[in-house]
Amino acid sequence: MAAVRRGAAALVARLRAALPSRFAFPYRVELKAGKKYAWCSCGHSRAQPFCDGAHRTLAPDRAPLRFTAEADGKVWLCGCKRTRTPPRCDGSHLRLWVAGRGDRR
């Protein structure tokens, strides 16, 4: 199972590098239990998937989702910003690609 996860992460990294930036992918990140994070909900942050404050000028109507990690470990955080389970990826980016709308907000 771990090999499958590593393979998926490698595939996403290769696709992210090869495709234009308008295609959004989930981000595999290591979270630490008890640490507070701010997930970018606007898509403008250069520190994806985390907020760097870009929304203040580029999307003032949006705010980051602040959360505290419950456990140590690697998780997939949404990159397309259309997940129904923020900040975790629920596969919404797959539906966007099928519909031909792989762009970010």
* pLDDT single digits (tens) 28-83: 999 999 999 999 999 899 999 999 999 999 999 999 999 999 999 999 999 988 89
**Long-range pairs for 58-63 at CB < 8 Å and ≥24 separation?**
59/105
Which helix H or strand E contains 10, and what residues bound it? helix 2-18
Categorize the per-residue pLDDT at 99 as very low, low, confident or very high, splitting at 50, 70 and 90: low
CA–CA distance, 92 with 86 (Å, rounded to integer): 11
* CA–CA dist 17, 76 (Å, integer): 18
